[in-house]
Amino acid sequence: MLVNVAHRGASAYAPENTLAAVRKAIARDADVVEFDVRRTRDGALVLVHDATLDRTTDVRRVFPRRAPWRVTDFTHAELMRLDAGSWKSQEYAGERIPTLTEALEVLALSRVGALVELKAPATSRGITAAVAAAVHASPTRSVVQSFDHVAMRELKQAAPYVSVGLLGSPARSLLPSLADWVDQVNPHHRRVDRAYVEDVHASGMQCFAWTTDRASAMRRLIRLGVDGVITNRPDLLHRVRAGRLSHL
């Protein structure tokens, strides 16, 4: 059955990459929760998409003299002072930036898996090994993915027990050789056609397409035979998958 992946949690409804979004994804029928991981100045693994903190927190108010507010310039203790929820809604005021371990612990209480995206591993020393260790220590089913295919190969060589995914659309001619170490190939949903999905499958890998919140696009991807769809609205994908929204 198609895997329903909640993008940054159920981020249409709760602030992205927070425990609130993770819990909302579980409640809205996600099979897997995707989130982004960066490393702080003191080595903590935290859920943040952007390289800087100003879009999704109140860092400008709390640390007005620390521009450009890069995640890597702050300690974990400093990040804990930030409000990561109010930008989305006052309902989420006081929501904190979680660690990777905290997110995996929430998922471990359910049967929902994790799709962990490494952000900028080439410029964040130690993040690849640290993430591999964290997902290996957790009972949560996890796949680690990145646009940095070199970093993913290094991760697989160092930790062959960790499942890895490549973001993007590698050339079809490369797929058989990638299958020696890659578990998933995860392209943008507009870059997917039936031939590409079939070639990924023929090479023994899965194909998860990202990111759409449109029922019509979800149905198209299902017809193409992808293994998973990444969406901000897992409840919508759940209904589409069940065939309850054929009119949209």
- What are the pLDDT digits (tens) for 165-192? 999 999 999 999 999 999 999 999 999 9
In a domain, 74, yes or no: no
Contact 209, 221 (CB under 8 A): yes
In a domain, 199, yes or no: yes
Domain boundaries, position 210: 3-52+100-241
Q: CATH number for the domain including 233?
A: 3.20.20.190
Q: What's the mean pLDDT when you consider all of the chain?
A: 97
* Confidence band, pLDDT 50/70/90 cuts, at residue 125: confident
In a domain, 68, yes or no: no
Give pLDDT tens digits for 142-158: 999 999 999 999 999 99
Among all residues, which ones are annotated catalytic?
7, 49
In a domain, 158, yes or no: yes
In a domain, 80, yes or no: no
Helix (H) or strand (E) holding 235: helix 234-241
In a domain, 207, yes or no: yes
Per DSSP (E only), the strands in the chain are 3-7, 32-39, 45-47, 113-118, 142-146, 163-167, 184-186, 206-209, 228-231
More confident residue, 30 or 125: 30
At residue 248, does pLDDT exceed 60? no
At residue 246, does pLDDT exceed 70? no
In a domain, 47, yes or no: yes
Cα gap 153→165, rounded to integer Å: 10
In a domain, 66, yes or no: no
Number of H helices, E strands in the chain: 10, 9
Structural domains of the chain, count: 1
